[in-house]
């Protein structure tokens, strides 16, 4: 019974995060952003929103279930002798994603924070404030879907159910990116890319019990794509 209640609590906190994320997204989209009328402030609000709906509930659940080391439980550590492998595989995986973006660029600007009249309309605050926040948001995505959902689900139910659960959430969280990529590489290609990143990333996280390299790679993807938007990309 104790194990079942813990499973129920785990699913409940995931459902809470997904529901809260959807509700707060709509609130920001239709009420907060028009009031802010600022890309940096919009990025800051989105970052805080992700911390509140993803990171804080995950830490609360881990503490509630007496996890000895929250950082280790979330994959925020390196196994002995695997530092280079962890960082290298994470960067390599998302470099592949960046290459795909370059070969099949979306038909519209990839970051809403960069959109005013053209994707190249950027200011210094975009580079020194907005872009770092975008990278933090990307890292939170890996931290929550893999560090929390995947690793905890694998401990409870095994690798296959954990991978299925994580990839379901991964696809939901990347619907916007799929919509951007579909016109240039088809829905099949966009979904195939998302599944490739999801599955390979999961295998890396499960093998190493670390998401540090994946978080770094996801941030690198956003930096690389932002640079391309500001230099050569035109919708």
Residue 173 and residue 141 in contact, taking contact as beta carbons nearer than 8 Å: yes
Q: What is the extent of the structural domain holding 68?
A: 2-231
Q: Is 67 exposed, middle or buried (0-12, 13-18, 19+ CB in 10 A)?
A: middle
Residue-wise pLDDT for 80-108, tens only, equals 899 999 999 999 999 999 999 888 877 66
Measured CA to CA, the distance from residue 98 to residue 14 in angstroms comes to: 29
- The reported pLDDT for the residue numbered 146 is 98
Report pLDDT for 122: 62
Q: Domains in the chain: how many in total?
A: 1
Distance CA 109, CA 39 (A): 14
The tokens for 223 are 């930096």
Say whether pTM exceeds 0.75.
yes
Contacts of 75 (CB under 8 A, 6+ apart): 143, 146, 147, 151, 205, 208, 209, 210, 211, 212
Q: What per-residue confidence (pLDDT) applies to 108? A: 61
C-beta separation of 13 from 60 below 8 A: yes
Q: Determine the Cα angle at 134 with ends 130 and 140, to 5°.
A: 145
What are the mean pLDDT values of the chain's consecutive 10-residue runs (235 residues total)? 56 96 93 88 93 97 87 93 96 95 72 50 78 94 98 96 96 85 89 96 98 98 84 63
> Which pLDDT belongs to residue 49?
96
* Listed residue (138, 142, 17) closest to 76, CA to CA: 142
| The pLDDT of residue 225 | 83
């Amino acid at each position: 019974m104790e194990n079942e209640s813990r499973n129920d609590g785990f699913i409940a906190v995931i459902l809470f995060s997904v529901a809260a994320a959807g509700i707060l997204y709509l609130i920001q989209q239709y009420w907060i952003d028009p009031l802010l009328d600022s890309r940096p402030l919009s990025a800051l609000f989105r970052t805080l929103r992700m911390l509140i709906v993803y990171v804080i509930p995950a830490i609360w659940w881990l503490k509630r279930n007496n996890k000895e080391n929250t950082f280790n439980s979330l994959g925020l550590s390196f196994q002995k002798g695997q530092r280079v492998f962890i960082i290298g595989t994470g960067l390599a995986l998302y470099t592949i994603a960046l290459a795909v973006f370059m070969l099949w660029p979306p038909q519209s600007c990839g970051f809403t924070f960069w959109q005013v009249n053209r994707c190249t309309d950027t200011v210094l605050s975009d580079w020194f404030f907005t872009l770092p926040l975008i990278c933090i948001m990307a890292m939170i995505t890996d931290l929550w879907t893999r560090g929390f959902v995947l690793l905890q689900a694998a401990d409870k139910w095994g690798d296959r159910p954990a991978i299925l659960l994580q990839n379901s959430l991964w696809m939901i969280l990347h619907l916007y990116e799929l919509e951007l990529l579909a016109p240039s590489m088809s829905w099949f290609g966009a979904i195939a890319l998302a599944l490739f990143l999801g599955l390979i990333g999961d295998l890396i996280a499960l093998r190493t019990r670390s998401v540090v390299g994946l978080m770094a790679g996801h941030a690198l993807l956003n930096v690389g794509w932002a640079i391309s938007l500001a230099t050569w990309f035109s919708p």
